[in-house]
Amino acid sequence: MLLVIDIGNTNITCGVFDGEEVKCTFRQMSKTPRTSDEYGIALLAMLQVNRIKVEDLTGITIASVVPKIMHSFVGGVSRTTGIRPIIVGPGIKTGIHVTADNPREIGPDRIVDVVAAYNLHGGPVLVLDFGTATTYDLVDKDGNFGVGITAPGIRISARALWEDTAKLPEIEIKKPASILARETVTSMQAGLVYGQIGQTKYIIEQVKKESGLPNLKVVATGGLGRMISEEVSEIDVYDPLLTLKGLQIIYEKNR
């Protein structure tokens, strides 16, 4: 079995694959500093809860956008499993040609997402990830990735509202019944959610227009992606496991 790990700014998301089948997924927060022993114990506990035996693991792939925890995390994972992980970064085979002006600036999470979308759906494809940041990445029919748009995620925008204004409360992020809000909480929800819907529609429209690819396939992922995808007809596919699938594909290319 293969253990894949996506270390994001908010969460560490893990998945276990048996071939191409996802056996389980689980997550923990990435913002809480831990020692290598604590990371190892936490991983072992979550594997046991999901009835996955450590000795059944044959490989591990990790993508991380949080460099400061990597030494402790990789040390804990390696000692717990006895496996040296494949780390997504320069020199790793992906099947994608990064044509950006500075390829090293492209986050491993974005590389993994476009690998999954391109391999599963072909190109050209626009990949949306509704994470801590909302990203839009374009891959052409030949697997060239050089165009990307980065915007604040919904949670970042929400946090700015209630942390930087004295009277606005912390709220649940959900779509209100109407954009015509009559009180503070639903007015904030309307601004956040309908604002993200409008941004998403406009960016997709502009990417299609400026790239000359009107039939561009649009694939979305990320925690809040389902809510937005249900409201944006321009999104063709929502896949909550896209990043984990990308890590599995990269492992197969590098084993």
Task: State how far the Cα of 211 lies from the Cα of 183, in Å rounded to an integer.
Answer: 41
Q: Could you confirm whether 109 is annotated as catalytic?
A: yes
Active-site residue (options: 6, 18, 101, 109): 109
Task: State how far the Cα of 32 lies from the Cα of 47, in Å rounded to an integer.
Answer: 20
Which burial class, exposed, middle or buried, applies to 88 when counting CB atoms under 10 A from its CB (0-12, 13-18, 19+)?
buried
Edge-to-edge, what's the strand order for the sheet holding 97-98?
Answer: 97-98, 144-152, 133-139, 125-130, 217-221, 237-238
Instruction: Give the DSSP H/E element, type plus range, for residue 199.
Output: helix 184-211
Written as six digits, the tokens of 41 are: 């114990």
Task: State how far the Cα of 29 lies from the Cα of 164, in Å rounded to an integer.
Answer: 24
Angle (CA) 46-39-129 rounded to 5° is 75
Which amino acid, 125?
V
Task: State how far the Cα of 58 lies from the Cα of 87, in Å rounded to an integer.
Answer: 15
Q: Which residues are catalytic?
A: 109
